[in-house]
Structure 1
Amino acid sequence: MERTMRMVLPFTKLRSALAGALLAATALVAPAEAQQAQRPIRLVLNVGLQVLDPIAGPSFVTRNFAYMVFDTLVSMDSQGRFRPQMLDNWRTSDDGLTWTFTLRDGLEFSDGAPVTAEDCVASLRRWGQRDSLGRRLMAATQEMRVVDAKTFVLQLSRPFGLVLEALGKPSVQVPFIMPARIAANTPPTTPVTEVVGSGPFLFLRDQWIPGERTVFVRNPRYRPRDEPADGLAGGKVPRAERVEFINMGDPGLRAAAIQAGEVDYLEYAPIDYIRNFQRNRNLVLSRARGGAEIAGGLSINHRQPPFDNVQVRRAVQQIMSRADIIAAEGVPPEFSQPDCQSVYVCGTFYASETGTEPMRTTSIERARELLRQSGYNGERVVFLQPGDSALINPIGLVMIDRLRQAGFNLDVQTSDWSSHASRWIQHRPLDQGGWSLIPVIYTGFDLGNPLTNPGIGYNCTGNQPWGYCNEAMTPVIERFEREANAERRREIAGELQRMSIEQANFPISGQFASAAVWRAELRGVIDFGFPVMWNLERAAR
């Protein structure tokens, strides 16, 4: 037997005052003839786009870019269910070891070539060398083989209970499909030089200003699914003729621009302006919660001293006063959860209090004592501070202050996120441009599953920046992988959470919602937790 699934106040004066700055910085002031319903939809990203490859670049901005130009085999809908996207169907054998996937008819890449099963296999193999969940899926795979142009088989060597969760992974790093000629010939740590996808929009490379502006137009070759759009699933209809991603580093400028109608959508609403936005009938704030919420944390380089010492890492964990760090963001009370201690993000399936005792009461005094016990002797700690990120910069500043109070000898190096991100993924000594600590943020989509959680999923893989390896965690992860029953997986996830906190793999600094905001005249907005540009259009005035 086989089972088959188918599936506020007028801003006239403010606008006038800022018009020159907007024009000079981002060329946002449109000519009079562009003031139509079809003028470009402009999205302001949290940081500028530098890396175009969603497999090589583990950042939200690259993920946002990739959803415009690439597509996925499986997608998550608004209820967290996994549904066919590029696929027409999948079939599983009774023992769950053989998965047969069939593509939809008529799929094409932007260069005119048809999407084939060979492209899917090559793309999954490349992704599976890089992503935490992908690596584990590949480790459980005996082979992937092409049956014909539209069909391929994933043959498991042992039970793996999260095949669809892997293929439908919604956030970094997503298994987007590329042509085999690119995926098979580009190492996963090397960014691709040619952007060819089968997604709803086309990337205009000749108009790209790295870190400043990215331009897309509708992809005439794209064939959306017939069913309505639902989260990341369903019909991805590109209704806007042109979309622009732009970078505006100053939060006040962002707030002024969206209130004046110079931009249409902010990936993250500047927190200091949320109350004003709530009173402005021309603006809409995102209501997505749970997996869409954010948790800040501190990425630790386990590979080199002093953080190869667990006592030093536990000292870092003790400086994480969630209430103080979230307060630095200025988040209104209804947007924050300072009492959440789960590494999975409260409001997601695997969230629990198991093993969270070390995080329930944190203190500088305890951090100092742990440092003393560790033998730390004032070794230099390179702290990479992303000064251009409106979300990361405030929490990083609090971390810096508390780390210094605890006794760490910090060398704070402030730059833009993209520059730091390129250093983050390198394994270099400190005197050769290496790093020790970097504040980061993740969504519940990234943190919500042990195999995608950065404090668990990369254990002993030698992959990504983290470098941690707890041998005792490995068999527990393997049990989680094999378990098909969701409730039993939840119990194992709690055990993994306890082990991750014990080793201070990835100290969490607090959970909050950083709402997106968009102009009320936009229609078809999908409130998913990060910007989705298909199905989106501006109402005619």
Structure 2
Amino acid sequence: MTRIDRRALFTSGAAAALLAAAGGSVHASPKAGGVLRLAVPREAGMLEQAAHGAVFDTLTEIAPDGLLRGELAASWQSALDARAWTFDLRDGVTFHDGTPLTAEDAAASLNALGVTGADLRAATALHGHQLLLELEAPNPHLPYLLAGADHLIAPRGELSASLANAVGTGCFRVERAQDGRHFRASKVAGHYKAGTAGWVDTVEIIVIPDASVRAEALRDGYVDVAALPEPRGLLKRGEFLYYPSSKEMALAARHNVGIPRKVGQRAPLDDGRIAERWWRL
């Protein structure tokens, strides 16, 4: 069976748009509480992608409505030639270990990871909450590029190789994880995104290598969302939502899963945001 590009799998914007086009039920009013459980295959780093979206933030984000917004950055401005950019970080943001976010953390993270699509010369902390990004060549699209999933901000720029030790500023804090197998995280109380994201109390992601077993787990209610499931058996029940369609099923979800109603169509969309933006009805 033909599958759509796996990079689109955890793109909340694309998923919601496809659901709307298919005539499914899209729920506009998020509900807080409950557990959201996802089953993913072992391939393509899907576990890590979804888990990183729950634990980490970036300086900017492409919101569910498709618009660019600040995430860890409260505001930004550039020089006239778009080579030098200044970002002011949000006040009062802390990492999951309780340490405050500083411009030094952001600078170290971006110096270590670089910026995909831009030639970063240097990231420098001007003071506690102001960051300077200097580019080798002008790039007016830098704020959009920084919304990419590769530009995670970690304490001192040290991104743990193991999910179990991941520490970010995201809506969810790691409870336990085993690389390549499973991940569980709980909502951070008093998070700066409270009321706009991080709806469920707990997120669980499990790797199930066999597509037919992922479909069975969804069908029998053990998970709420399944990536690249075997469609036979699911189609007969009629209790599920399919992305992008029942013929090319990249993802299936139960009807008691809610997603944003308004979704922009402008790329780049934000991969890995299911945990943060979807909810249980």
Q: Compute the TM-score of the two structures, normalised by the length of structure 1.
A: 0.41
Q: Is the Cα contact below 8 Å between 1:200 and 1:218 reproduced in 2?
A: yes
Distance 2:125 2:244 in 1: 42
Structure 1 pair 63/209, CA: closer, same or farther in 2 (3 Å)? closer
What residue in structure 1 maps to residue 119 of structure 2? 137
Q: 1:252-301 deviations in whole A, cap 9, x for unaligned?
A: 2222221221211112332445643xx61x3122349xxxxxxxxxxxxx
Q: Is the Cα contact below 8 Å between 1:123 and 1:178 reproduced in 2?
A: yes
SS of 1:262's equivalent in the other structure is coil
Structure 1 pair 46/159, CA: closer, same or farther in 2 (3 Å)? same
Q: How does 1:256-271 map to 2 (within 5 A)?
A: 256-271=216-231
Distance 2:272 2:163 in 1: 24
What's the offset of the Cα at 1:153?
Answer: 1.1
Distance 1:113 1:243 in 2: 23
- 176, 179, 183: which is aligned to 2:152? 176
SS of 1:64's equivalent in the other structure is helix
Q: Is the Cα contact below 8 Å between 1:109 and 1:115 reproduced in 2?
A: yes
Q: Compute the TM-score of the two structures, normalised by the length of structure 2.
A: 0.74
Distance 2:252 2:215 in 1: 10
What residue in structure 1 maps to residue 258 of structure 2? 523
Matched, 1:284 2:241: yes
Matched, 1:242 2:217: no
Q: Is the Cα contact below 8 Å between 1:108 and 1:221 reproduced in 2?
A: no
What's the offset of the Cα at 1:69?
Answer: 0.6
What residue in structure 2 maps to residue 84 of structure 1? 70
Q: Is the Cα contact below 8 Å between 2:39 and 2:227 reproduced in 1?
A: yes
Structure 1 pair 210/62, CA: closer, same or farther in 2 (3 Å)? closer
Distance 2:61 2:190 in 1: 20
What residue in structure 2 maps to residue 29 of structure 1? none
Aligned partner of 2:37: which letter?
A: R
Q: 1:469-504 deviations in whole A, cap 9, x for unaligned?
A: xxxxxxxxxxxxxxxxxxxxxxxxxxxxxxxxxxxx
Q: 1:291-314 deviations in whole A, cap 9, x for unaligned?
A: xxxxxxxxxxxxxxxxxxxxxxxx
Distance 1:43 1:197 in 2: 21
Q: Is the Cα contact below 8 Å between 2:84 and 2:135 reproduced in 1?
A: yes
Gaps of 5+ in 1: 1-36, 49-57, 227-234, 289-330, 336-513
Q: How does 1:158-169 map to 2 (within 5 A)?
A: 158-169=137-148
Aligned CA RMSD, in angstroms, stands at 3.0
- 124, 148, 151: which is aligned to 2:110? 124
Structure 1 pair 213/157, CA: closer, same or farther in 2 (3 Å)? closer
Higher CA-based Rg: 1
Structure 1 pair 181/159, CA: closer, same or farther in 2 (3 Å)? closer
Q: How does 1:284-433 map to 2 (within 5 A)?
A: 284-287=241-244, 332=247, 335=248
Structure 1 pair 41/81, CA: closer, same or farther in 2 (3 Å)? closer
What's the offset of the Cα at 1:520?
Answer: 0.7
Aligned partner of 1:137: which letter?
A: D
Aligned partner of 1:516: which letter?
A: L
Distance 1:520 1:243 in 2: 17
Q: Which has the higher contact order (CA 8 A, sep 6+)?
A: 2
Gaps of 5+ in 2: 1-31, 264-268
Q: Name whichever structure is richer in strand by fraction.
A: 2
Matched, 1:46 2:41: yes
Matched, 1:255 2:215: yes
Q: Is the Cα contact below 8 Å between 2:107 and 2:125 reproduced in 1?
A: yes
What's the offset of the Cα at 1:161?
Answer: 4.0
Distance 1:192 1:215 in 2: 10
Distance 1:531 1:196 in 2: 17
Q: Name whichever structure is richer in helix by fraction.
A: 1
Q: 1:321-355 deviations in whole A, cap 9, x for unaligned?
A: xxxxxxxxxx83xx4xxxxxxxxxxxxxxxxxxxx
Distance 1:126 1:181 in 2: 7
Aligned partner of 2:153: which letter?
A: I
Q: Number of matched residues?
A: 243
Q: How does 1:69-108 map to 2 (within 5 A)?
A: 69-78=55-64, 80-108=66-94
SS of 1:63's equivalent in the other structure is helix
Q: Is the Cα contact below 8 Å between 1:85 and 1:225 reproduced in 2?
A: no
